[in-house]
């Protein structure tokens, strides 16, 4: 019999009586051990509900889910012994010190007293909290608190970790630290399920990504394959003035795989061979006397994958018109690349 998946969900549904919200609508996925699964989706997509069901905190209305083959409802106690939870919902006790918090989690994970103490010291050291260990959490900065939160999830060295939006609201430095720690854990064989609104985060950490919207998976694959589905390289040309834009688009059209999108002085298109198309574009426009201020070639981002799949951006609630949002997401980037 083959090993069970680290985390599996089959057709999970969950409706909240309050407001009659259908939070999960047939969510299914699987992830093998030792990998990072990125769960990508906007606020209210059902990411946190899914995590809460997988962590045995919430019971699904329908469907089933298992951790290392252990059913999250039937074998809930066994599941709790193999998981760690960190993120926006699982808090630490702010009236206790960092050390006390970690020792408490150790004792509640049924470690012997001495073992819980030792593990707390190890983690404090690992997360650079030794100096603040005996201070009340009330004096901790947001970043320190988040580090302690992560440490609390690691106390019992669980093989499966759930990080629910672990870097939301964090400063860039702490965010990068979190990424490094996550990568280290995965290198040691831990399976991580990470929910995020940040595409950059999923892109950097995840082996597999599922895109969730309205409580179901609307796309899945590696970050690369999802981006590849969009096609090819993105070519952005910035012109001196917008009057030339339609003519430039017409000239560049044959180079692209789809019709170019024009927005003010910006022409955006997908091309097969980036460098070749780039130099060709410059030649064609120059020959016609159109002044080019900037030219950018880049891989499509998960941002664009998300936009294409859902019709709205990851961090915006209501769906936006695709072309408008596209221009927003692309505009500043193109300018800064000049």
Partner 1 sequence: MTTVPADKNAALQPSGRLEGIGWLVNDSLTIAWRYLAAMLRLPESILFSAIQPMLLVLMFRYVFGGAIRGVHGSYVNYLMPGIFVQTVAFGAVISAVGVAEDIQKGIIERFRALPMARSAVLAGRTLSDLTRNACSIALMAGLGFAVGFRIETNVPAFLAGLGILLFFSWALSWGFSFIGLVVRNSETAQVATFPILLPFTFASSAFVPVQTMPGWLQAFAKYQPVSQVVNACRALMDGGPTSFHVLIALAWCFGLVAVLAPLAVRRYRRPA
Q: Please give the residue ranges that form the binding site for partner 1 (CB under 8 A).
A: 52, 55-59, 77, 80-81, 83, 85, 89-97, 100, 104-105, 107-112, 115, 136, 152, 156-157
The distance of closest approach from Cβ of residue 136 to partner 1 in the complex, given in angstroms and rounded to an integer, is: 6
Contact 13, 63 (CB under 8 A): yes
Nearer to partner 1, 158 or 260 (CB): 158
Of the pair 139, 241, the CB lying nearest partner 1 is at 139
Distance CA 58, CA 56 (A): 5
Q: Which CB sits closer to partner 1, 115 or 291?
A: 115
CB-CB contact of 212 with 45 (8 Å): yes
CB contact at 8 A, 294 and 301: no
Q: How far, in Å, CA of 223 to CA of 35, rounded?
A: 13
Q: Count of residues for the chain?
A: 338
Q: Which two tokens stand for residue 43?
A: 């606020």
**Which residue's CB is nearer to partner 1, number 157 or number 241?**
157
Which 3 state secondary structure label does DSSP give 319? coil
Smallest separation (angstroms) from partner 1 to the CB of 101 = 9
C-beta of residue 178 within 8 angstroms of C-beta of residue 166: yes
Closer residue to partner 1, CB minimum distance, 105 or 267: 105
Rounded Cα distance between 138 and 96, Å, is 8
Give the shortest CB-314-to-partner 1 separation in angstroms: 24
Q: What minimum distance in Å lies between the beta carbon of 229 and partner 1?
A: 35
Tokens 């597999």, residue located: 208
Which residue has tokens 């707390």?
A: 120
- Distance in Å, CB of 102 to partner 1, minimum: 12
CB closer to partner 1, 108 vs 259: 108
The residue among 53 and 202 lying less far from partner 1, judged by its C-beta, is 53
Q: How far is the CB of 118 from partner 1 (least distance, A)?
A: 9
We find the least distance from the C-beta atom of residue 108 to partner 1, in angstroms, to be 4
* DSSP assignments along 58-106, one per residue: S--SEEEEEETTEETTTTHHHHHTTEEEEESSS---TTSBHHHHHHHHH
User: DSSP code of 288?
Assistant: T
């Amino acid at each position: 019999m083959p090993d069970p998946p680290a985390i599996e969900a089959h057709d999970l549904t969950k409706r909240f009586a309050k407001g009659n919200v259908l939070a999960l609508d047939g969510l299914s996925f699987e992830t093998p051990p030792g990998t990072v699964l990125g769960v990508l989706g906007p606020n209210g997509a059902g990411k946190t509900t899914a995590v809460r069901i997988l962590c045995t905190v919430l019971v699904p209305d329908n469907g089933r889910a298992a951790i290392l083959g252990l059913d999250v409802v039937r074998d809930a106690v066994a599941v709790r012994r193999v998981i760690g939870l960190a993120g926006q919902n699982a808090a630490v006790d702010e009236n206790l010190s960092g050390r006390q918090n970690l020792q408490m989690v150790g004792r509640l994970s049924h470690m012997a007293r001495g073992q819980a103490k030792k593990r707390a010291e190890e983690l404090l050291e690992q997360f650079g909290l030794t100096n603040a260990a005996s201070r009340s959490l009330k004096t901790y900065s947001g970043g320190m608190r988040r580090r302690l939160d992560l440490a609390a999830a690691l106390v019992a060295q669980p093989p499966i970790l759930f990080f629910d939006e672990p870097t939301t609201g964090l400063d860039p430095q702490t965010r990068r630290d979190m990424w490094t720690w996550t990568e280290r854990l995965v290198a040691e064989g831990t399976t991580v399920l990470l929910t995020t609104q940040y595409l950059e985060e999923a892109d950097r950490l995840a082996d597999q990504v599922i895109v969730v919207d309205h409580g179901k998976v609307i796309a899945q694959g590696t970050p690369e394959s999802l981006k590849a589905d969009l096609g090819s390289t993105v070519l952005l040309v910035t012109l001196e003035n917008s009057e030339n834009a339609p003519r430039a688009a017409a000239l560049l059209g044959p180079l692209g795989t789809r019709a170019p999108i024009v927005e003010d002085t910006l022409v955006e298109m997908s091309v097969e061979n980036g460098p070749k198309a780039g130099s060709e574009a410059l030649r064609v426009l120059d020959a016609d006397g159109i002044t080019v201020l900037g030219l950018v070639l880049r891989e499509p981002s998960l941002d664009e994958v998300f936009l294409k799949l859902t019709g709205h951006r990851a961090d915006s609630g209501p769906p936006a018109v695709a072309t408008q949002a596209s221009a927003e997401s692309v505009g500043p980037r193109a300018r800064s690349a000049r």
